[in-house]
Amino acid sequence: MNRQSIRDAMIESLAGVTPSHPARGADSGFDSGTDRLELLPETVREHLVENESLRREWRQLLRQARAIRTLGRVPVPSDLDGRVVASLQAGYRQQRATASVQALPPEPAPLEFDARIGQVAEQALHEEGLELGLLEAPASLDGLVADRVDVERGLGSDPVRPRAARGRRRTNRLAALVGLVVVTGLGVVAVLPELGPARNAGLDAVEQASFSFKVVRIDDPALADADLKDLLGGMSGGILDGREYPQ
């Protein structure tokens, strides 16, 4: 046995150590002050008989274990019960609220909204140097779009099929997304669904599309996801990220 394996064996043998007790003497019957060599395996004990430094190390380890065991158990405060009950009930209420919101039927967007999106989309497409195909969507949008495409194609969510095979590559899909942003008041953001190969068709494509919107209200643009802000800032000509207009 080398030194480290002897030390490891000594530490493992500390499992049987009981607390020290400062209020009583070494010979009070408590596990204090004795070498407790009987806790050690025979093979380790033999090493200790021959080696004073190992015996010292064992005594130090014993002392530490006894000291920690002195701490004992702490009583559980009575207010833990109330706090746990309250937090579980709050969580339960939250779950029910979430479920009821998720169960709400989708609301069609107002016609006025369609027109405003069309306006912005056309404006964006006519801006010089705007390259929609290079924009990167946040990963969450990527997933949402892929799932939506599958549902619309009647494929559903098939966990067995590899993700890549389910839709077109992200950049292609993004290239097909036309005009993303409408800003009203504090900022209402509408993301259009996939419009097929109509990347440059502009307003026509927007008008022909069967709209379904995911509407996100951003009360404080400073708190919006950085990728989303970049994306929307680019598409809105800087309206959303404050480069062109004050927020």
Partner 1 sequence: MRIDPDRTLVIACQETPDRGFDGAFRDLYEQYKDRVYNVCYRITGNAADALDASQETFGILFRKVSAFRFESKFSSWVYRIAVNASIDLKRRSAARPAASLDRLRSSSEEGTPIDFKDDGIEGPQAAAARRELRAEIQEAITRLSPKMRAITVLRYSESLSYEEIAESLGTSLGTVKSRLSRAHAALDRELTPILDRHHLR
Binding site for partner 1 (CB under 8 A): 4, 7-8, 11-12, 14-15, 20-24, 26, 32-33, 59-61, 63-77, 79-81, 83-85, 87-89, 91-92
Q: How far is the CB of 86 from partner 1 (least distance, A)?
A: 9
Q: How far is the CB of 104 from partner 1 (least distance, A)?
A: 21
Q: How far is the CB of 78 from partner 1 (least distance, A)?
A: 11
Contact 113, 168 (CB under 8 A): no
Q: Which is nearer to partner 1, 47 or 66 (CB)?
A: 66
End-to-end CA distance of the chain: 72
Q: How far is the CB of 102 from partner 1 (least distance, A)?
A: 17
Q: Give the helix/strand (H/E) hosting 215.
A: strand 214-217
How far apart (Å, rounded) are the C-alpha atoms in residues 177 and 171? 10
Q: Which is nearer to partner 1, 28 or 212 (CB)?
A: 28
Q: Which is nearer to partner 1, 60 or 172 (CB)?
A: 60
Contacts of residue 75, Cβ cutoff 8 Å, sequence gap at least 6:
none
Task: Please classify residue 192 by burial: count the beta carbons closer than 10 Å to its beta carbon, then call 0-12 exposed, 13-18 middle and 19+ buried.
Answer: buried
Q: How far is the CB of 80 from partner 1 (least distance, A)?
A: 6
Q: Which is nearer to partner 1, 31 or 194 (CB)?
A: 31
Q: Which two tokens stand for residue 153?
A: 């194609």
Q: Which is nearer to partner 1, 100 or 210 (CB)?
A: 100
Backbone angles phi, psi at 234, to 5 degrees: -65, -45
Q: Which residue has the tokens 């379904």?
A: 212
Q: Which residue has the tokens 């990963």?
A: 139
Q: Which is nearer to partner 1, 32 or 236 (CB)?
A: 32
Q: Which residue has the tokens 């800003």?
A: 183
How far apart (Å, rounded) are the C-alpha atoms in residues 150 and 31? 69
Contact 191, 109 (CB under 8 A): no
Q: How far is the CB of 150 from partner 1 (least distance, A)?
A: 26
